[in-house]
Amino acid sequence: MPIKVIVVEDEYDVLHELVDGLQEDPLIEVCAYAQEVEDAFEKILSTRPNALFLDIQLEGGTAFDLLAELDQAGAPAIPVIINTGFEYFEYAQRALNDYGDRIVHILQKPFFSHWEEKRKECLGKIQSFHSGRTEVSPLGSFNKFIARSKNTTFLIDFEDIQYLEVAGSGNTYLQAKGREAILIHRTLEKILPDLPDYIFRISRYHAVHLDAIKCLLHEDKKVQLEGVPQEFKVGEEYFRQLLRLLG
């Protein structure tokens, strides 16, 4: 059975391009679409979709207004894919802070470069939400890593990450330039697949940004990082891999 979705987008041309693009997939049924907050609210309640494609800026309000109205009406939480341009990135951050339990992906405008791949990714995120699986951060398309710690969501440029350190009890410290260390309630094993390959694991306890390496101490099998006083021990097998990477 196809997944029923509603598309809410204030730009007429973008709205219909997105509707047409989604309906190319037989596993997706666009059951309704809207440009305005109240129209979207009524259609969501009446059609009970499996997912929502939602722009930030809408006629008659914003995505936040619509989601707040749905919560007040007791509507069931469904996966939300935010459609937004880079100029509204700060709003996407706010959406993740306020509705991170249901926002599964950020679909960055313009949509249609590598569209089939993007549509497949959106479908996978929706399916994962309904099956209860945990997926990769929805901000990958912005080259950001999302780190949730207690009641705060941090958005960190991949390039600013210096190192990660196992903290025990399933937690990991992330150190980035210009920040205090952030305690993330995920293991290092689960975090690394969300990061670029240049965040390289050097031991059971640490992963470092390869470009941050200042020197590699062969005899002690340690690395030093730019701007970081701490030295990091490199495991034997990781040391051999690191030597090959560094030439």
Return d(Cα 247, Cα 243) in angstroms, integer: 6
Rounded to the nearest 10°, the torsion over CA 113, 116, 117, 120 is 140
The answer to whether the pTM exceeds 0.85 is: no
Three-state DSSP class for 100?
Answer: coil
Domains contained in the chain, CATH given = 3-141 (3.40.50.2300), 147-246 (2.40.50.1020)
Residue 9 · residue 33 · CB < 8 Å: yes
* Distance in angstroms between the alpha carbons of the first and the last residue of the chain: 52
Return d(Cα 100, Cα 197) in angstroms, integer: 26
> Other CB atoms closer than 10 Å to residue 97's CB: what's the count?
14
pLDDT for the residue numbered 78: 92
Q: What digits encode the pLDDT tens for the residues 67-93?
A: 999 999 988 889 999 988 755 566 767
Return d(Cα 8, Cα 78) in angstroms, integer: 14
Helices (H), 12-88: 12-23, 37-47, 63-72
pLDDT for the residue numbered 86: 55
pLDDT for the residue numbered 135: 45
Joined tokens for residue 153: 């969501």
**pLDDT by residue for the chain (247 residues), tens digit each?**
899 999 999 999 999 999 999 999 999 999 999 999 999 999 999 999 999 999 999 999 999 999 999 999 988 889 999 988 755 566 767 777 777 778 888 888 888 888 998 999 899 889 888 876 544 455 555 577 877 666 677 888 899 999 999 998 888 999 999 999 998 888 888 888 878 889 999 999 999 999 999 999 999 999 999 999 999 999 988 999 899 888 7
pLDDT for the residue numbered 190: 81
Question: Taking Cα atoms as reference points, which of 117, 126, 116 lies closest to residue 53?
Answer: 126
Q: Which residues contact 171 (CB under 8 A, 6 or more apart)?
A: 183, 184, 185, 186, 187
Residue 163 · residue 172 · CB < 8 Å: no
